C-alpha cells in the first residue's frame, strides 16, 4: 500500500506535462495581473493625493483583471486542490460513501463546466460576429473578454474529468498534482 491511497505514483506523460504547464501558466498570468493591479492602484492613490494625476482607466482595468484572473486561476487552483471545498458530509461518512459523494460533486462540477463552456462559446461567437464593442473608459471589442469563459470552463471540465477518472475524489489531490505549497 502506498501513501497515496493505494495507487502507485505514475510518471506524467508529455500531454499531462503540457497540461500542467498550461495550468501553471494560467495561475502565473492571473497572479501577475493581480499584482500589477495592486501596484497600479497604489501608484494611482499616491499620484492622486499628491495632485499630480490619476488613471481614469484603472477601475475598468481592475474589473477586467478580477474577472479574467479569477477565471484563469480557477482550473489551476482546482488542480492544486486549493479551492474552497465543503467536506463536512464526506468527512462524516465512511471511506466508500465519502468517495461516492466526492465523485458526485466532481460530476456536478464537470457538467456545470461543460454547460458554461458551451454557453460561453456561443456568447463569445455571437459577440465576435456582431462586432460588439465595450464602450467605457477604454473602447475594446467584447469577444476577447468573453473568450476567457469558454476557455477556462473547458479547462475546468478537463480537470473535473481527470479527478473523476484518476480517482482524485478520494483525497482531493492526484498523485501527479503538486502540493499547494509547490504552486506558483
- Dump the DSSP string for 93-126: S-HHHHHHHHHHHHHHHHHHHHHHHHHHHHHHHH
Does the pLDDT value for residue 81 go beyond 90?
no
CA-nearest of 1, 5, 23 to 174 is: 5
Q: For residue 88, tell me if it sits in a domain.
A: no
- How is residue 170 annotated by DSSP? G
Q: For residue 103, tell me if it sits in a domain.
A: yes
Helix, strand, coil percentages (3-state) for the chain, rounded to 5, are 70, 5, 25
Does the pLDDT value for residue 39 go beyond 70?
yes
**Residue 23 backbone class (left: φ over 0; alpha: ψ -120 to 50; beta: rest):** alpha
Q: What percent of the chain lies above the pLDDT cut of 70?
A: 83
Q: For residue 5, tell me if it sits in a domain.
A: no
Can you give the pLDDT at residue 12? 60
Does the pLDDT value for residue 46 go beyond 60?
yes
Helices (H) and strands (E) in the chain, counts: 5, 2
pLDDT band, very low/low/confident/very high, at 174 (cuts 50, 70, 90) = very low
Predicted TM-score (pTM) above 0.75: yes
Q: For residue 113, tell me if it sits in a domain.
A: yes
Name the strand (E) or helix (H) holding 18: helix 14-49
pLDDT band, very low/low/confident/very high, at 176 (cuts 50, 70, 90) = very low
Q: For residue 169, tell me if it sits in a domain.
A: yes
pLDDT band, very low/low/confident/very high, at 98 (cuts 50, 70, 90) = confident
Task: Read off the C-alpha cell for 110.
Answer: 464537470
Q: Which residues pair with 134 in a beta bridge?
A: 140
Q: For residue 1, tell me if it sits in a domain.
A: no
Task: Read off the C-alpha cell for 1.
Answer: 500500500
Does the pLDDT value for residue 168 go beyond 60?
no
- How is residue 93 annotated by DSSP? S
Can you give the pLDDT at residue 148? 96
Q: For residue 32, tell me if it sits in a domain.
A: yes
Can you give the pLDDT at residue 126? 98
Q: What is the mean pLDDT of residues 41-45?
A: 96
- How is residue 133 annotated by DSSP? E
Q: Which domain holds residue 166?
A: 14-83+93-175
Can you give the pLDDT at residue 179? 46
Can you give the pLDDT at residue 8? 37
Q: What is the mean pLDDT of residues 9-21?
A: 77
Residue 12 exposed, middle or buried by CB count within 10 Å (0-12, 13-18, 19+): middle
Mean pLDDT score across all residues of the chain = 85
The count of structural domains within the chain is 1
Q: For residue 128, tell me if it sits in a domain.
A: yes
Amino acid at each position: 500500500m502506498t501513501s497515496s491511497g493505494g495507487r502507485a505514483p505514475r510518471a506524467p506523460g508529455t500531454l499531462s506535462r503540457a497540461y500542467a504547464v498550461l495550468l501553471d501558466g494560467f495561475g502565473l498570468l492571473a497572479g501577475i495581473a493581480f499584482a500589477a493591479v495592486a501596484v497600479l492602484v497604489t501608484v494611482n492613490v499616491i499620484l492622486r493625493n499628491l495632485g499630480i494625476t490619476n488613471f481614469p482607466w484603472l477601475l475598468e482595468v481592475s474589473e477586467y483583471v478580477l474577472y479574467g484572473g479569477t477565471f484563469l486561476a480557477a482550473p489551476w487552483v482546482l488542480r492544486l486542490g486549493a479551492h474552497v471545498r465543503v467536506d463536512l458530509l464526506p468527512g462524516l461518512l465512511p471511506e466508500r460513501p465519502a468517495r461516492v459523494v466526492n465523485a458526485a460533486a466532481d460530476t456536478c462540477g464537470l457538467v456545470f463546466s461543460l454547460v458554461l463552456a458551451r454557453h460561453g462559446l456561443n456568447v463569445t461567437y455571437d459577440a465576435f460576429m456582431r462586432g460588439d464593442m465595450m464602450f467605457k473608459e477604454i473602447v475594446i471589442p467584447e469577444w476577447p473578454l468573453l473568450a476567457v469563459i469558454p476557455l477556462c470552463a473547458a479547462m475546468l471540465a478537463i480537470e473535473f474529468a481527470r479527478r473523476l477518472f484518476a480517482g482524485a475524489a478520494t483525497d482531493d489531490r492526484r498523485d501527479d498534482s503538486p502540493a499547494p505549497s509547490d504552486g506558483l
